[in-house]
Structure 1
Amino acid sequence: MGATTLDHEVVIVGAGFGGLGAGIEFTRQGMTDLAILEREDDLGGTWHVNHYPGLAVDIASVTYSYSFEPNPHWSRLFAPGAELKKYAEHVADKYDLRRHIEFGVAVQRAEWDDDGQYWTVHTDDGRSRTARYLVTATGFLSQPHTPDFPGMDTFAGKIIHTTDWEDGYDFAGKRAAVIGTGATAVQLIPEIARTAKALTVFQRTPIWVVPKIDFAIPAPVQTLFQKVPLTQKAARLVNTAALEALMVFGVLHFKQAKPGNKLAALLSKAHLRAQVRDAATRRKLTPSYDFGCKRPTFSNTYFRVFNQPNVTLQTSPIERVEADAIVCADGTSVPVDTLVLATGFNLWDTNFPAFQIVGRQGRDLGRWWREGRFQAYEGIAVPKMPNFLSLNSPYSYSGLSYFTTIEGQMKHIARLFGELRRRGADTFEVTEEANTAYLDRSTKALDSSVFYAGDCTGSRSYYFNQHGEATLLRPSSTLSTLREMGSFPLEDYTYRAAPVSEPVTAPAPTA
């Protein structure tokens, strides 16, 4: 690489597993002048922000982890959230990333300087930093959604969003309400139902739930994983194969493998029938859309909750919120003193991207996506955005474990920066032609997916953006993703050397 006079070689935004993976890969590439900017007060991303009761992975831990950094000490097949947080800390320490992380720093915008060929990153503390390369690792689920029902500001009780949980909050004697029935709610609702005097679950869209084959991992097995790593690799392979079958055949190739999709739906319906006694309640809990339109989840306790006398399922839409109640469209008034918002995240309006990014020729990434089509070459690069890599992008999420996506992107970074070194270049930019070809391939491949070949009417899935396109998932298998990310055509990028210039430094912090 050419000599740099900037504040940093690389600025990475986000210290979750995506940002840590990028930090590891850039370090492997010999780039040690990194700044990892994290808006929270600690690392771990979603596993730091979320700590509500019942939090656990919904992908087996042997798969939901870096393949190159296995953890032999998971306590359960589906580890509790605290263990994922501890694992993130272990990774940061082992790969010496903590010294690069700045906590409590929220990025507001970033601008590309085409003359100097660098990025200026502005943060909410009034500072700015210059860097040759900018990487966003802000996650897919980082911008919480708060509903704006009429009267929300008049509610006199306690409001808790699942991303801002109050540890130790006691639901005993409380008349609680949970709004939302996504994956978070499926984990949380059984915990609240244990002690709440009354719990009303407000469901807008039911979710497909399948049995969770979970168990404690005995100490001898953990010791075996530690002493014979191949055994844990084998466990990872088996679990990955099962997830691959569910994702590739049940979701991505719905048109060709419709019986497999229907079998998954029948499994969920049988699970529901076995756990919920009341037929009317079962009907309300049964999705009307095809399996896979909305991310399914695993639980052995969620359905059973609705047999409890203190739990009510409410499917009439919320009309307004009052000081001590929620009023539904059918006229039902539900007394509430504790309101829990399990309302998910805003992906397409505020998360892509999570802050303003302005590239070459003034291209505003967020505006470009929303006014046109959401797109990113190989789910990581964007035309007119030189030296920019977005780890949470359209058509990037591969498989059901986020770590497939992360490790594929690490392979892409290694190949791209290897070519920069070979050419003696500093700047890269994906071509419009390569980006368009990838978008066309992805769109065509998704034609046979459940999103377009199935019935997703009424699913209200975050897989679909505001244009009605399912642009989140990369339509290829895990093996294909990893292979393609490590072997993309090098001519899909243009390369150039950065100019030699006087030092470019950020201004001092403002008062």
Structure 2
Amino acid sequence: MTTPLRSGSMGIDRTDDKDDDSGRAGRRNQKGRGGRAHPDDRPVYVIGAGPAGLSVAAALRERGVRAVVLERSGAVGASWRGHYDRLRLHTTRRLSALPGLPMPQSFGRWVRRDDVVRYLEKYAEVHELEVVTGVEVTRIEPAPTDERRPGRPGWLLHATGGRRLTGRAVVVATGYNHTPRLPDWPGLDTYAGEVVHAGAYRDPGPYAGKDVLVVGVGNTGAEIAVDLAEGKKAGKRGAAGEGAAARVRIAVRTPPHIVRRSTLGWPAQRTAVLVRRLPVRVVDGLAAALARVAVPDLTAHGLPRPRAGLYTRARQGAIPVQDVGFVRAVRRGAVEPVTAVDSFDGDEVVLADGTRIRPDAVIAATGYTRGLEAFLGHLDVLDEQGRPVSRGRRSPKRAPGLYFTGFTNPISGMLREMALDAPKIARALARD
């Protein structure tokens, strides 16, 4: 399954003057399926060919607005291709599809990583999207005033190869998990052992028979820990199989909320959709009551129930852990919770309680940053944590025509949020 990648029609592959020719090129393809042409023939540039960028491009095309997707890697869905082999969506197939194309029933309820990639490839193909790979945007700034378009200055994009691209608007969809974040632990630069970010983890093979410390107990850290404990060929009911690590510990700074992915066939995501608009304290109370019934207390295993409520934590950015074998692994001792990493010292890892351990490898599931400062920091459209100040259908007041999507991680599901954002952004752009 191959995604059609288009470049010649854009005028961005020129090597003579490196200037954009998107105005002339846009007139050759400015009608969407509805046959409506927009008076401003410059394209909308969408940065990032993941689910957020592809869904916005498809929604714009449906409204007759030409969208060109710029992707720095060599294919759509690059971040999904780099995830670990075990990964399945924690959101259901039905609630994870993008506008205009359901996910095939054959994918099952919990879609595998490889099937997500296949779906994104098919999505770009079905919607006939203009996707140009190998182009990284390095800076965005207001376009110079054009007398032919009074009141519509647009945006100038600086990209690899000296390219200068002018668009009537820009949608930034580079992803919530963009740049791996590794804490600046004392002694890390002189640590004698192996340390890798979770973004580089693929399968338990390289760690067979080793002592491994996973740092971070979000969904990624919990699932990697289980993967290491079970090995390539898991035994009955998650027992260690071929290629399992000899010992797996997981460093925990703040105990997470843990929820069952589904209970009696009812997925946790549907509950999250139903309660998302309720007051925080109400959702916190409901979640606490459900956890007492559905999730065993792991306090005796070093993982007490969190003090702050589930929705309170989620609003702060700490999404609950979906249980895909983690609870069972902790209860049987296959995954051992320990306190947070404090520092590194020679070949030892020093934990917050003073314990010193010597794992063969450390896998840091310590999250990502948005990575927007490098090309957007000068526009004053980011908050102190590097997140867009406005998202979805609203542009920042200081930057009309600049949109952001895919930068939230709600309890109701990131893919669902992207699917909801896409038509809203398309409507806003069409009105402009």
1:111 matched to 2:141? The reply is: yes
For residues 333 and 280 of structure 2, the distance between their equivalents in structure 1, rounded to whole angstroms, comes to 39
1:254 matched to 2:270? The reply is: no
- Specify whether residues 354 and 15 from structure 1 end up closer, same or farther in structure 2 by C-alpha distance, changes over 3 A only: farther
Query: Given the alignment, which residue of 328, 350, 355 partners 1:327?
Result: 350
Q: Deviations over 1:116-137 (max 9, x none)?
A: 3132212344433222221101
CA contact (8 A) 2:52 2:418 kept: yes
Shift in Å, 1:325: 2.4
Opposite residue 370 of structure 1, the aligned amino acid is E
Shift in Å, 1:37: 1.7
Moved more, 76-85 or 161-170: 161-170
1:356 matched to 2:376? The reply is: yes
Q: Specify the alignment match of 1:489 in structure 2.
A: none
Q: Specify the alignment match of 1:478 in structure 2.
A: none
- Specify whether residues 172 and 239 from structure 1 end up closer, same or farther in structure 2 by C-alpha distance, changes over 3 A only: closer
For residues 206 and 371 of structure 1, the distance between their equivalents in structure 2, rounded to whole angstroms, comes to 23
Structure 1 unmatched runs, 5+: 217-234, 421-511
Alignment of 1:349-498 (within 5 A): 350-351=371-372, 355-356=375-376, 363-366=379-382, 369-370=383-384, 375-376=389-390, 380-392=394-406, 400-420=412-432
For residues 420 and 175 of structure 2, the distance between their equivalents in structure 1, rounded to whole angstroms, comes to 15
For residues 125 and 167 of structure 1, the distance between their equivalents in structure 2, rounded to whole angstroms, comes to 36
Aligned-pair identity in percent equals 24
Shift in Å, 1:15: 0.5
Q: Deviations over 1:190-231 (max 9, x none)?
A: 111121111121111111111222899xxxxxxxxxxxxxxx
Opposite residue 154 of structure 2, the aligned amino acid is Y
1:21 matched to 2:70? The reply is: no
For residues 71 and 377 of structure 1, the distance between their equivalents in structure 2, rounded to whole angstroms, comes to 26
1:38 matched to 2:103? The reply is: no
- Specify whether residues 377 and 149 from structure 1 end up closer, same or farther in structure 2 by C-alpha distance, changes over 3 A only: closer
CA contact (8 A) 1:177 1:339 kept: yes
- Specify whether residues 215 and 101 from structure 1 end up closer, same or farther in structure 2 by C-alpha distance, changes over 3 A only: farther
Aligned to 1:285, the other structure's residue is in SS state: coil
For residues 301 and 168 of structure 1, the distance between their equivalents in structure 2, rounded to whole angstroms, comes to 16
Q: Specify the alignment match of 2:305 in structure 1.
A: 286
For residues 325 and 290 of structure 1, the distance between their equivalents in structure 2, rounded to whole angstroms, comes to 35
For residues 298 and 41 of structure 1, the distance between their equivalents in structure 2, rounded to whole angstroms, comes to 31
- Specify whether residues 125 and 339 from structure 1 end up closer, same or farther in structure 2 by C-alpha distance, changes over 3 A only: farther
Q: Deviations over 1:264-291 (max 9, x none)?
A: 22332444427x5xx5325x33111111
- Specify whether residues 397 and 313 from structure 1 end up closer, same or farther in structure 2 by C-alpha distance, changes over 3 A only: closer
Opposite residue 262 of structure 2, the aligned amino acid is I
CA contact (8 A) 1:380 1:392 kept: no
Q: Specify the alignment match of 2:23 in structure 1.
A: 4
For residues 167 and 258 of structure 2, the distance between their equivalents in structure 1, rounded to whole angstroms, comes to 45
For residues 326 and 156 of structure 2, the distance between their equivalents in structure 1, rounded to whole angstroms, comes to 47
For residues 335 and 30 of structure 1, the distance between their equivalents in structure 2, rounded to whole angstroms, comes to 60
Opposite residue 415 of structure 1, the aligned amino acid is R
For residues 132 and 75 of structure 1, the distance between their equivalents in structure 2, rounded to whole angstroms, comes to 38
CA contact (8 A) 2:91 2:269 kept: no
CA contact (8 A) 1:178 1:201 kept: yes
- Specify whether residues 407 and 48 from structure 1 end up closer, same or farther in structure 2 by C-alpha distance, changes over 3 A only: same
Shift in Å, 1:181: 0.2
Q: Specify the alignment match of 1:144 in structure 2.
A: 180
Alignment of 1:112-131 (within 5 A): 112-116=142-146, 117-131=153-167
For residues 306 and 50 of structure 2, the distance between their equivalents in structure 1, rounded to whole angstroms, comes to 32
CA contact (8 A) 1:17 1:45 kept: no
Opposite residue 130 of structure 1, the aligned amino acid is T
- Specify whether residues 87 and 374 from structure 1 end up closer, same or farther in structure 2 by C-alpha distance, changes over 3 A only: closer
- Specify whether residues 354 and 140 from structure 1 end up closer, same or farther in structure 2 by C-alpha distance, changes over 3 A only: farther
Opposite residue 306 of structure 2, the aligned amino acid is P
For residues 326 and 41 of structure 1, the distance between their equivalents in structure 2, rounded to whole angstroms, comes to 38
CA contact (8 A) 1:6 1:132 kept: no
Q: Deviations over 1:447-466 (max 9, x none)?
A: xxxxxxxxxxxxxxxxxxxx
For residues 97 and 199 of structure 2, the distance between their equivalents in structure 1, rounded to whole angstroms, comes to 22
For residues 105 and 96 of structure 1, the distance between their equivalents in structure 2, rounded to whole angstroms, comes to 19
For residues 369 and 401 of structure 2, the distance between their equivalents in structure 1, rounded to whole angstroms, comes to 27
Moved more, 172-181 or 74-83: 74-83
CA contact (8 A) 2:80 2:117 kept: yes
CA contact (8 A) 2:249 2:337 kept: yes
For residues 187 and 371 of structure 1, the distance between their equivalents in structure 2, rounded to whole angstroms, comes to 26
CA contact (8 A) 1:12 1:134 kept: yes
Opposite residue 264 of structure 1, the aligned amino acid is A
Opposite residue 411 of structure 1, the aligned amino acid is P
- Specify whether residues 418 and 109 from structure 1 end up closer, same or farther in structure 2 by C-alpha distance, changes over 3 A only: closer
For residues 319 and 387 of structure 1, the distance between their equivalents in structure 2, rounded to whole angstroms, comes to 44
For residues 386 and 326 of structure 2, the distance between their equivalents in structure 1, rounded to whole angstroms, comes to 40
- Specify whether residues 156 and 103 from structure 1 end up closer, same or farther in structure 2 by C-alpha distance, changes over 3 A only: farther
Aligned to 2:156, the other structure's residue is in SS state: strand
CA contact (8 A) 2:215 2:363 kept: yes
Shift in Å, 1:110: 0.6
Opposite residue 89 of structure 2, the aligned amino acid is V
Q: Normalising by structure 1, what TM-score?
A: 0.65
CA contact (8 A) 2:195 2:361 kept: yes
Query: Given the alignment, which residue of 314, 317, 338 partners 1:314?
Result: 338
For residues 161 and 38 of structure 1, the distance between their equivalents in structure 2, rounded to whole angstroms, comes to 23
- Specify whether residues 23 and 409 from structure 1 end up closer, same or farther in structure 2 by C-alpha distance, changes over 3 A only: same
For residues 144 and 58 of structure 1, the distance between their equivalents in structure 2, rounded to whole angstroms, comes to 21
Q: Normalising by structure 2, what TM-score?
A: 0.76
Q: Specify the alignment match of 1:88 in structure 2.
A: 120
For residues 318 and 418 of structure 1, the distance between their equivalents in structure 2, rounded to whole angstroms, comes to 50
Shift in Å, 1:406: 2.6
RMSD: 3.2
Shift in Å, 1:63: 0.5
Aligned to 1:355, the other structure's residue is in SS state: helix
Moved more, 400-409 or 328-337: 400-409
Alignment length (residue pairs): 372
Q: Specify the alignment match of 2:94 in structure 1.
A: 62
Aligned to 1:4, the other structure's residue is in SS state: helix
- Specify whether residues 401 and 330 from structure 1 end up closer, same or farther in structure 2 by C-alpha distance, changes over 3 A only: closer
Q: Deviations over 1:69-123 (max 9, x none)?
A: 11233433222222211111111121122xx323333322111025131322123
Q: Specify the alignment match of 1:298 in structure 2.
A: 322
CA contact (8 A) 1:247 1:400 kept: yes
Q: Specify the alignment match of 1:507 in structure 2.
A: none
For residues 293 and 268 of structure 2, the distance between their equivalents in structure 1, rounded to whole angstroms, comes to 23
Aligned to 2:94, the other structure's residue is in SS state: coil
For residues 374 and 166 of structure 1, the distance between their equivalents in structure 2, rounded to whole angstroms, comes to 30
Higher relative contact order (CA 8 A, sep 6+): 1
1:243 matched to 2:272? The reply is: yes
Opposite residue 104 of structure 1, the aligned amino acid is G
- Specify whether residues 83 and 199 from structure 1 end up closer, same or farther in structure 2 by C-alpha distance, changes over 3 A only: same
For residues 387 and 48 of structure 2, the distance between their equivalents in structure 1, rounded to whole angstroms, comes to 25
